[in-house]
């Protein structure tokens, strides 16, 4: 089976690049090889490689910058996805696409299900929702994985920022009223591989949207606490200790883009298709955190 991976140098893309060879022949393309907004480069990749499945990990992910770069965010996350979805549909190719919890407004008390109404509160969420809608409108062979708070060993993310700040500050203020779970690219890749295997075996999952995240729930404050605990147990010297993290609320930490207060995703639908149990977020995050801390220590 031939797999075309787009966005191969992103936080998720790098993990997919490592995981996908176990299920097929992979052509991994970063944005310099295939720019999703360049229709000719997309067409060239499809025509020369002739994949069975396209895995689109390319996205505009700068949430705050999207507020002022609206055109660019929609160009990558919506317009380019619409073109890609149309082209794979014409060729009878499967499309695996990734979306976000930010397509919800965060006002629901419980975890969001795939069927819940969407209502993004920022431009990034609006652009990702438009991308979802484009895939659904254009395609008959697609899987959309919505995930939350992606933190991996590659690229920049919340955990790496916290470690850098903790190495030079006595105290840290971390938001404690946004609820969700960190999700590792490794877990997303594992689920993706499982879905591809099902397609290979002629037992493809039902076309549609699936929520993908570990079990449990926490806050950014909770993630920071666990991270610094792991760092301390790994003999990393930091200026900030776990007891010196101060909880703050979103209203006291204004950002360009508004964030949903509830990012919890109900994963019951996905669980029906998996041959393994989704891990608790602490177990999933521990592996990622150890990798990040190891690199941090080596610097």
DSSP string, 179-219: EE--B-HHHHHHHHHHHHHHHHTT-PPPSEEEE---BS-EE
C-alpha distances in angstroms, 228 versus 38, 164, 175? 42, 11, 15
- Whether the CA torsion 82, 86, 89, 94 is positive or negative: it is negative
CB neighbourhood size of 75 (10 A): 16
Name, in order, each residue with C-beta under 8 angstroms of 213's C-beta and a sequence gap of 6 or more.
101, 147, 148, 180, 181, 183, 264, 265, 267, 278, 281
Q: Which of 98, 124, 142, 210 is catalytic?
A: 124
- Give yes or no: 124 in active site: yes
Residue with tokens 């991996």: 152
3-class DSSP state of 280: strand
* Angstrom distance (rounded) from CA 243 to CA 256: 29
Q: Spell out the residues 6+ positions from residue 257 whose beta carbon is closer than 8 angstroms to its own.
A: 63, 64, 66, 67, 122, 123, 124
Residues with a known catalytic role: 124
């Amino acid at each position: 089976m031939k797999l075309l991976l787009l966005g191969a140098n992103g936080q998720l893309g790098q993990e997919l690049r490592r995981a996908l060879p176990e299920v097929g022949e992979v052509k991994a393309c970063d944005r310099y090889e295939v720019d999703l907004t360049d229709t000719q480069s997309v067409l060239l990749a499809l025509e020369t490689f002739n994949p069975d499945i396209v895995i689109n990990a390319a996205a505009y992910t700068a949430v705050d910058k999207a507020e002022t770069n609206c055109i660019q965010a929609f160009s990558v996350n919506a317009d380019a996805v619409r073109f890609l979805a149309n082209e794979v549909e014409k060729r009878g190719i499967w499309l695996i696409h990734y979306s976000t919890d930010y397509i919800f407004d965060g006002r629901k008390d419980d975890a969001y299900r795939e069927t819940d109404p969407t209502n993004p509160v920022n431009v990034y969420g609006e652009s990702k929702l438009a991308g979802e809608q484009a895939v659904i409108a254009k395609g008959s062979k697609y899987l959309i994985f919505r995930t939350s708070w992606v933190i991996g060993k590659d690229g920049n993310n919340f955990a790496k920022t916290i470690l850098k700040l903790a190495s030079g500050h006595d105290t840290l203020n971390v938001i404690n009223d946004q609820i969700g779970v960190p999700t590792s690219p490794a877990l997303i890749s594992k689920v993706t591989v499982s879905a591809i295997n099902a397609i290979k075996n002629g037992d493809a999952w039902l076309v549609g949207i699936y929520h993908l995240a570990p079990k449990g729930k926490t806050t950014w404050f909770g993630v920071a606490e666990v991270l610094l605990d792991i760092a301390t147990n790994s003999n990393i010297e930091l200026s900030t200790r776990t007891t010196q993290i101060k909880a703050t609320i979103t209203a006291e930490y204004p950002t360009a883009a508004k964030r949903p207060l509830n990012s919890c995703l109900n994963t019951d639908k996905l669980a029906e298709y998996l041959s393994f149990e989704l891990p608790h977020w602490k177990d999933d995050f521990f592996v990622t955190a150890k990798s990040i801390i190891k690199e941090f220590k080596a610097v």
